Structure 1
Amino acid sequence: MTAAIKVHKMIRCKIHTHEKDRILAACDEEILGMTFRGDGVKIKVSEIFYGGESVTEEVFIERTKSVTIMNLVGNRVVDKAIKEGLVSEQSVMIIGEVKHAQVVIM
Structure 2
Amino acid sequence: MLLRERSTPEGLLVSVCDAEILGETFENGEVSLTVDPEFYDGEEADAEAVATSLAEAAVANLVGTESVGTAIEHGFVEEGNVLEFEGTLHAQYLRM
Q: Give the TM-score taking structure 1 as reference length.
A: 0.85
Q: Which runs of 5+ in 2 are unaligned?
A: none
- 2:73 is the alignment partner of 1:83: yes
Is residue 73 from structure 1 mapped to residue 63 from structure 2 by the alignment? yes
Tell me how far apart the structure 2 counterparts of residues 16 and 46 of structure 1 sit (CA, whole Å): 15
CA distance in 2, matches of 1:16, 1:44: 19
- After superposing on structure 2, the runs of 4+ consecutive aligned residues of structure 1 that deviate more than 2 Å are none
1:100 Cα shift?
0.3
> Greater Rg, structure 1 or structure 2?
1
Is 1:64 the counterpart of 2:54 in the alignment?
A: yes
Q: C-alpha distance in 2, partners of 1:45/1:71?
A: 10
What's the RMSD between the two structures over aligned residues? 1.0
Higher helix share: 2
Aligned residue-pair number:
96
Question: What's the TM-score once normalised by structure 2's chain length?
Answer: 0.93
Gaps of 5+ in 1: 1-10
